[in-house]
Amino acid sequence: MNASPITLATFIPAHLPALVEFLNRVLAGHRHWAPITEADFAERVLAQPGFDAKGLFLALDGTRVVGGAHAIKPSPHSPSFRMGEARHHIAWLAVAPEVRGREVGNTLLTAAEDYLYYCPIYFAAYDAPFYGILEKLWAPWYGSTEHMAVSAVNDKELVAWLGAHSYQAVSPGDVSLRAGLQGCTPPADPGLASRDLRLAPINERAPWVGDEPFYQLRGWGYNNGRQYQGLVVAHGDRAVGSIVWYPLPDGETAALAWIGLERPYRALRFGSYLLDCAMAKMADRGYLAVEVKVHSKENVEAFSLFRRRGFEVIDYWVNLVRT
């Protein structure tokens, strides 16, 4: 008996239930994946100002979704567009196991690339809209703590397939690290007051409202009610450093969104103090571990700080680009 034909379509609202069912089925088992609802997808993707349904491609077996890819053009409404280079992205591409070998992946990739129309194209990049933490401090649906990433350890088949389609790995050194929080206690103050500095807690109910010439704390604000916590190193009403974390889906792990300190305040043990204070607060809230993504070569200072504080590398992420 011949297999039924698979058709290609761009997303319409009627596809939403089948798309969510497909994602919950095909992405299960990836790091940090937790089942999503139709409301989740609508909030995270469909309701975002930069979303274009013409770039969300679905492979259909009748009414059943058996594959998909989301190509995203630069949009003035996208945080990644405002924050740096305007990039073309393929945020994800997935095919159900039962239809692999039937050119579904090739068809989806060609459609996504034709929609984007020029290179470079970034695949599952850190600044892809909708699926990471650019818009809000919410856990990515799978991958690292910041974006839906491709693992050099667990996604070798995908990396090889993309390599055969002219996607090359660039900028090696993107890693995730993890540390246990057992026994973390508040550290001794290294002398913030001597520099007229204070430590201010923030969260989704009480976000930072002061000046922040470098950081983006006010960008998260009330975060649609989703939980996050942080500590701001403040000089008067000006943030000169900060650390922010939020819960991962397992409820036992905190994700470190970022840590930063302006250069005049480095090499004074303030950075390590900030991290130690945060880890103590995480432990006090009942978290068992903390995870963070960092580029070990481009952000050597942060990587070294985490390693000194007992963080271990748990995954390596592949940055893929077609030029």
Q: For residue range 115-172, list pLDDT tens digits in order.
A: 998 889 999 998 899 999 988 899 999 999 999 999 999 999 999 999 999 999 999 9
pLDDT at 135: 87
How many CB atoms lie under 10 A from the CB of residue 320? 22
In this prediction the pTM is: 0.93
Collect contacts of 2-7 with beta carbons under 8 A, ≥24 apart: 3/102, 4/61, 4/62, 6/59, 6/60, 6/61, 6/66, 6/67, 6/99, 6/102, 6/104, 7/59, 7/60
Segment among 1-5, 17-21, 148-152 with least mean pLDDT: 1-5
Average pLDDT (43-67) is 96
The domain locations on the chain are 7-174, 182-287
pLDDT at 76: 74
pLDDT at 112: 98
pLDDT at 213: 75
pLDDT at 125: 92
Q: Dihedrals φ, ψ of 64, to 5°?
A: -90, 130
Whether pLDDT at 175 is above 90: yes
Average pLDDT (71-96) is 83
- Pairing label, strands 150-151, 88-95: unpaired
pLDDT at 84: 63
Radius of gyration of the chain (CA): 21
| Assigned CATH class of 7-174 | alpha beta
pLDDT at 216: 72
* % of the chain at pLDDT higher than 90: 86
**Chain centroid, CA 177 distance in Å:** 14
Whether pLDDT at 83 is above 70: no
Say yes or no: do domains 7-174 and 182-287 share a fold. yes
pLDDT at 318: 96
pLDDT at 73: 94
Whether pLDDT at 2 is above 80: no
178 neighbors 311 (Cβ within 8 angstroms): yes
Q: Does domain 182-287 bear CATH number 3.40.50?
A: no
Helix (H) or strand (E) holding 275: helix 270-284
At 172, list the tokens.
């090696």
Compute CA distances 276 → 56, 61, 173, 179, 240, whole Å: 42, 52, 24, 12, 17
Q: Dihedrals φ, ψ of 230, to 5°?
A: -165, 170
Whether pLDDT at 104 is above 60: yes
Compute CA distances 166 → 1, 77, 123, 149, 319, whole Å: 35, 29, 11, 18, 13
Average pLDDT (9-28) is 97
Average pLDDT (206-226) is 86
Question: Distance between CA 310 and CA 313 in Å, rounded?
Answer: 10
